[in-house]
Every structure is written in structure tokens, then in C-alpha cells.
């Protein structure tokens, strides 16, 4: 059995990279794996990530082609009225899975308990929170503009996804602070959308 090779600093950097990619997956499912695979292929990732399993596939010819086509379809789909809301429904569980897989790929050289524990709890949690935040934002846009404002929301989301992905790959520690901001903002959006009108507890005293 191959022993984990990462030291403590490498684990911190790899975890920051994974969290950044997971956060980006909350905006779009296919942009982060495509860009990450491309950067791996070009050997532009600042830390040594073993090219095994999902990482190896993302950086392969077939992986880049499949992810590239899926990325284009996903981006364009969010500009079609009402299809964008349908995609949000599909993307919510997909984003969580993508977040788990992206973070696990960056921690593949660590102990399996750390790799999958952190990926499921942190990676899936971050991507899921941000995805729900985008759903809440789109719901507000649909309700207030009849869907006319949704293309603007889609453009901002795609741009944020690309920025977050590239920042996570090139400057993972800095990306970690962006993740904290995004999770905080998304949590606030979810709270405003789904809990602001919750009835006050009944006083039985």
C-alpha cells in the first residue's frame, strides 16, 4: 500500500486548493474540473498533485473533451429562460458530488480517512452551501424581474466560478479567504430567502 507523501504544509495548501475548487463547483459543476484538468495537463498547479484516479482522467484527452463539452452546454443552458431554474434543481445534488470529488482529488496523497472525511464534510458542505445560495439568488431574480434579470445573474455566477477556480489553482491560500466570504454570503442569502418569514416561536409561558 502506497504511503501518503504530503507533509503538513502541503496538506494545508492542497486543502485550500480543494476547498476553492469545491466552492467554484457551487456556481457551476463542469467549469472547475475542466480548468483544473487543463492546468494539471499544462503542469501549472503550484503543488505536486499525484495524477491518479479522477485527476488523471480530468487531465486526459477524453476527460478534457467531455468536460469541455459539458461545460459549454451548462454555461449556455443558464441563459435559456426557465431552463436555468431546471438546471438549478439538477445542479444542487450534482454540485455537492462535484465538491466532494474535486477536494478528494487534491488530497489523494493523504490518508484515506483525511481525504474522504474532509472531502465529504468540507468539500460537499461548501459546494452545497454556495449552490443553495445561487438558487436563492436566482429565485429572487425570477420573482422580481420575471426571469429577465437571470442572464445577468448567470454571467456573474459563471465569472465568479472561473475566478474562484483559477485563484484556487494559482493562489490556494488566498482562495481560502474567498471561500469564507462566499460561504458567508451564500448562508446569508439562504437565510433571507427561506427563513426571514419564519413565524416567531409561540410563547407558552
pLDDT tens digits for 155-171?
999 999 999 999 999 99
In the chain, which ranges are continuous DSSP H helix?
Answer: 8-25, 31-41, 53-58, 61-77, 83-106, 112-118, 124-145, 150-170, 172-194
Enter the C-alpha cell of residue 45: 498547479
Tens-digit pLDDT profile for residues 14-40 = 999 999 999 999 999 999 999 999 999
Q: Which pTM does this prediction carry?
A: 0.86
Reply yes or no on whether the pLDDT at 203 is more than 90: no
At residue 4, the 3 state secondary structure works out as coil
At residue 146, the 3 state secondary structure works out as coil
Which burial class, exposed, middle or buried, applies to 5 when counting CB atoms under 10 A from its CB (0-12, 13-18, 19+)?
exposed
Sign, CA torsion 54/126/142/161? negative
Higher pLDDT, 91 or 130: 130
Q: How far apart are CA 42 and CA 70, in angstroms?
A: 21
pLDDT band for position 188 (cuts 50, 70, 90): confident
> Given this model, what pLDDT does residue 83 score?
80
Neighbours of 69 (CB within 10 A): 12
Reply yes or no on whether the pLDDT at 199 is more than 60: no
* Average of per-residue pLDDT across 106-119: 90
> Given this model, what pLDDT does residue 1 score?
45
> Given this model, what pLDDT does residue 50 score?
72
> Given this model, what pLDDT does residue 184 score?
86
Furthest CA-CA distance within the chain? 67
HEC states along 87-101? HHHHHHHHHHHHHHH
Domain residue ranges of the chain, discontinuous segments joined by +: 9-188
Among 153, 147, 29, 26, which Cα is nearest to 82's?
147
Residues 6+ away with beta carbon under 8 Å from 94: 29
Percentage of the chain exceeding pLDDT 90:
49
> Given this model, what pLDDT does residue 159 score?
95
> Given this model, what pLDDT does residue 116 score?
93
Amino acid at each position: 500500500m502506497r504511503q501518503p507523501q504530503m507533509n503538513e504544509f502541503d496538506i494545508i495548501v492542497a486543502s485550500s486548493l480543494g476547498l476553492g475548487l469545491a466552492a467554484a463547483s457551487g456556481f457551476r459543476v463542469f467549469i472547475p474540473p475542466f480548468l483544473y484538468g487543463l492546468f494539471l495537463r499544462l503542469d501549472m498547479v503550484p503543488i505536486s498533485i499525484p495524477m491518479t484516479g479522477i485527476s488523471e482522467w480530468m487531465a486526459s484527452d477524453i476527460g478534457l473533451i467531455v468536460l469541455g463539452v459539458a461545460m459549454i452546454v451548462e454555461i449556455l443552458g443558464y441563459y435559456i429562460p426557465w431552463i436555468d431554474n431546471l438546471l438549478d434543481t439538477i445542479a444542487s445534488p450534482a454540485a455537492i458530488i462535484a465538491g466532494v470529488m474535486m477536494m478528494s482529488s487534491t488530497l489523494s496523497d493523504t490518508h484515506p480517512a483525511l481525504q474522504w472525511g474532509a472531502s465529504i464534510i468540507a468539500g460537499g458542505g461548501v459546494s452545497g452551501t454556495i449552490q443553495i445560495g445561487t438558487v436563492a439568488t436566482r429565485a429572487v431574480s425570477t420573482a422580481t424581474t420575471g426571469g429577465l434579470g437571470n442572464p445577468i445573474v448567470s454571467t456573474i455566477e459563471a465569472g465568479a466560478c472561473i475566478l474562484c477556480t483559477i485563484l484556487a489553482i494559482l493562489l490556494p491560500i488566498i482562495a481560502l479567504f474567498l471561500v469564507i466570504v462566499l460561504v458567508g454570503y451564500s448562508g446569508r442569502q439562504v437565510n433571507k430567502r427561506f427563513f426571514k418569514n419564519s413565524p416567531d416561536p409561540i410563547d407558552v409561558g
